[in-house]
Amino acid sequence: MEVVFVMVNFLTLYCFVFGLAFVASAECQLGWIHYLNKCYYFSADTRNWGAASASCRAHTAELVVIQSESKNRFLAAEISKLKGNFWLDGTDEFAEGNWEWASIAQLFDYSNWHPGEPNNSQGGEDCLMTNDAYNGNWNDALCNQTYKYICERR
């Protein structure tokens, strides 16, 4: 009788632990990465900033907003594996030099600009991007450039 009781408890514990692992892995759709209760999609295709934003919205997400150093480090680590340029949600197209997160209409309260940026060097560099070479630093770029992009499901 005691052996049966121990087996039942073991099976119950196994099912509980396995169930938790399944739920944790099922928090994000296939192809998305889970980080701090949100899901992130790193595109393989390239689009201009507006089309990238629309693609994210079509998947019930937005271009990624970065409001902390820890989140920026997470994204930089993923980008270093994937390589390339990636659009973020930031823009100053509404007021030059006033960078805001477009999807939440909020001015930056955290930033991590690459040295010398933003510089609007080509005139009209109104959209925010980063790449694997910048190690988490940001750059302003022309919005009609085609880059990969990062979607965030909140």
CB 116 within 8 A of CB 125: no
What residues are paired with 149 via a beta bridge? 87
| DSSP secondary structure letter of residue 134 | G
Distance of alpha carbon 63 from the chain centroid: 7
Q: Which residues contact 105 (CB under 8 A, 6 or more apart)?
A: none
- What pLDDT sits at residue 22? 42
In the chain, which residues have pLDDT < 50? Answer: 4-8, 10-25
Q: Quote the CA–CA distance of 137 and 45 in Å, as a whole number.
A: 22
- What pLDDT sits at residue 23? 43
What pTM, to 2 d.p., does this model score? 0.83
- What pLDDT sits at residue 122? 86
CB 68 within 8 A of CB 110: yes
- What pLDDT sits at residue 2? 59
CB 94 within 8 A of CB 103: no
Token pair 């990636």: residue: 86
- What pLDDT sits at residue 107? 98
- What pLDDT sits at residue 26? 58
